[in-house]
Amino acid sequence: MIFTNPYLLFGLFALLVPILIHLFNFRRYKTVYFSNVKMLDEIQKKTKRKSQIQQLIVLFLRLLGITAIVFAFAQPFLRSNNTKKSGGNLISIFVDNSFSMGANSDNTSSFYEAVDAAKTIVRDFEYDDDYVLTTHDFSGEESHILNRDQMLELLDRLKISPNSRNFNEIKAFEKNTSQRSNKVNVVKFYISDFQKNAFDLSLLRGDSSLHIGLIPSKNQEKKNLSIDSCWFLTPVFRVDNIVTLVVRVSNHGSEDVQKIPVRLHINDRQKAISTVDILSGGYADCRLSYKIDEKGTNLGVISIEDAPITFDDELYLTYNVSDNSNVYLVYNKIPNKFLNALYAKDSVFNCQSSDYRQLNYTTLRESNLVILNEIPEISSGLSDELSKFVDAGGTLLVFPPNEIDNSLNTFLSKMGCGTYGNLVKSKLKCKKINNESLYFKGALETTSDMIDLPVTLQHFSVSGGAQGVEDIMSLEDGSSLLSVWSVGRGKVALSSVALNDDFGNSHRHALLFVPLHNFGILTTSVQKLYNTIGVDNMQRVNVISDNSEDVMTLKAKKSDEEFIPEQRKLGNETALFFHDQVHFSDWYDLIKGDLNVGTLAFNFSRRESDMTFYEESELTKIANDIGDNIKVVGTNTKNIAKAATEQLDGRPLWPLFILIALACFLAEIAVLRFWSKPLPTENNEE
């Protein structure tokens, strides 16, 4: 047993007072003579020996009571397995402020209960302790060590957040902040509903904190449907095109659901509706087909009806429909008439061309597809511009010259795609067509051996850059005729043959021009449909600020939220960094000066959609398996920090000594009251 205030044990000298009173205040007995004993109705029989025993018992009870009071003020405790060190305490508290904590519970919300619990913890510790608050926001204020007043003030300002972090991210942020404190006794509390899909509690294993308290809220599992994601099957955004949008809807409840309506609105008009049946714990993909009938920026929203949890019932998206695709043909001396016939005479394309010695880099940057036709060399300046172009999402198509220059392969190697090898002079027929490729899909009704295929008289071998490659057309010997690599956000396509008679009839064959035509159309489809708040913190836009003061602003359409994102120029684009500035699911207009130069869509994270939580019994079992310093504490406990103080200081014994003191004084009163009562004797009647 150890005392918190051992100097108060000097109060035991107070035991001398009752001892001295006992020694100098013995009761003296006198002999009393009565003239007539018959006048006594009752005789009290009491011996001197009995009186001494009574006095000793009273003295013992008084000494024991005073000793118990002194011990209680000295605050004794039993030492725990963990040893508290001198140097003060660091109190780290995580308060879950995600959407799931906003669910109603007994006419209040788990979030407000969590905030009250955090305040109780703060008040139960000392003013000179250090405090750390962590939420899903990871705000600047949370990255500092706080005193008690600052901690309470920050707790008063907490709100439900659209952000959702996993437990690994939470612990990393908490650790980074806690390292700024010089306190040695670390006490942690996690106040949350402990959703199973977000909390990997095994990460607490090996945590050296003196105490870790898990405080579960009272949330109950709820039924919930969520729109998780969407994508286009054939993302060719042209007016009058029929497109198919696939929507994934998940059922997080324990019962199957049937005939759930899924609606799609484009520019405030309902364009499609369908229904889905979803098994419990599963998902279903719903297809919504519609015709594009408006140019420019199209704003879409997918919606379902599902109560009481509604934050994941809508999914915002946006895409741009352009009149045509910008194609830039770069040639050597003489333009290729076949490429001109394909692109320059089709109204779908806005085609421009120039000799590689007279390049217009502005035209190159604004293009969607750049074709290098038999360019003998790649200068360093052109290499840099093409790298920026592809990285920004453009498509580069290369037809080799009759002789390969090292500068071309150096550029291709730098891009991380295939390079040209030896010239193979043998007659080969195109053997394989990837009919499932996006550039060929739906173009051929049959792939039988009877179909007329291109024949090559010679071709360059293409090797390397196997990662991210898609073979579109292959020759009989297995070598590539036309392949595409994913590079950055763009594509690089390499043809193993040039478009002239020396290489065969490929340049005259309609089959080769099917993917070439689709290269030009599909280049405009590389668009980011939406961002997820708290997950996607950056998006590139094809807008460049003219100077450092020409900044862009994001303004929500359905609310008053407006902010200036961090902006960095990356080649031909501008990268926008959102950090924690987006708080609402909505469309956000990108404003440059007085002009609307684009629209971005933001949606809440679906991590909170799965409403399955750890039960308190499960948490207790996990805590017992991990370590003795982890305890599960209910929010209804009067003193939430009691478990922590017991873990730090040991089990307090002062309440026990208070009870002992009360028992002693009550026993003393009982002895004096009832021991002194005279014993009745038989009455003698005359």
Residue 125: the pLDDT is: 84
- Number of C-beta neighbours around residue 120 at 10 A: 16
For the sheet with 130-134, list strands across it.
Answer: 130-134, 89-95, 185-192, 211-216, 630-632
What pLDDT score was predicted for residue 299?
95
Owner of token pair 């453009």: 394
Identify whether the C-beta of residue 327 lies closer than 8 Å to the C-beta of residue 520. yes
Tokens 């996990």, residue? 622
Determine contact, residues 95/156, Cβ cutoff 8 Å.
no
Task: With residue 64 as reference, give the H or E element that holds it.
Answer: helix 48-74
CATH of domain 225-322: 2.60.40.10
User: Which amino acid, 567?
Assistant: Q
Tokens of 20: 């001295």
pLDDT in tens, 571-588: 667 889 998 889 899 999
Q: Are 630 and 619 in contact, with CB atoms under 8 Å apart?
A: no
Give the start-to-end residue ranges of the domains of the chain.
2-79+652-675, 89-221+612-649, 225-322, 325-525, 531-603
Mind giving me the DSSP string for 151-218?
HHHHHHT----S----HHHHHHHHHHHHTT---SEEEEEEEE--BTTT--GGGGTT---SEEEEEE--
CA-wise closest residue to 478 among 438, 424, 435: 424
CA gap 405, 448 in Å, rounded: 38
Query: Which pLDDT score, from 0 to 100, does residue 679 have?
Result: 47
pLDDT of residue 676: 56
Q: What is the pLDDT of residue 682?
A: 44
Are the CB atoms for 609 and 250 separated by under 8 Å? yes
Model confidence over 102-131: pLDDT tens digits? 765 444 578 888 898 899 888 888 888 899
| Architecture label for domain 325-525 | 3-Layer(aba) Sandwich (3.40)
Strand segments (E) across 267-346? 269-278, 283-291, 296-303, 314-321, 325-331
Q: Residue with structure tokens 């390292």?
A: 179
Enter the tokens of residue 181. Answer: 């404190």
Q: Is 41 exposed, middle or buried (0-12, 13-18, 19+ CB in 10 A)?
A: exposed
Which residue in 322, 303, 305 sits closest to 314, CA to CA? 303
Q: What is the DSSP string of 425-460?
A: -S-EEEEEE-TTSTTTTTT-S---TTS---EES-EE
Summarize pLDDT for 215-233 with one digit per residue, the tens. 988 766 678 899 999 999 8
For the chain, list residues with pLDDT below 50.
41-43, 45, 105-107, 637, 679, 681-686
Classified by CATH at the fold level, domain 89-221+612-649 comes out as: Rossmann fold (3.40.50)
Domains 89-221+612-649 and 325-525 share a fold: yes
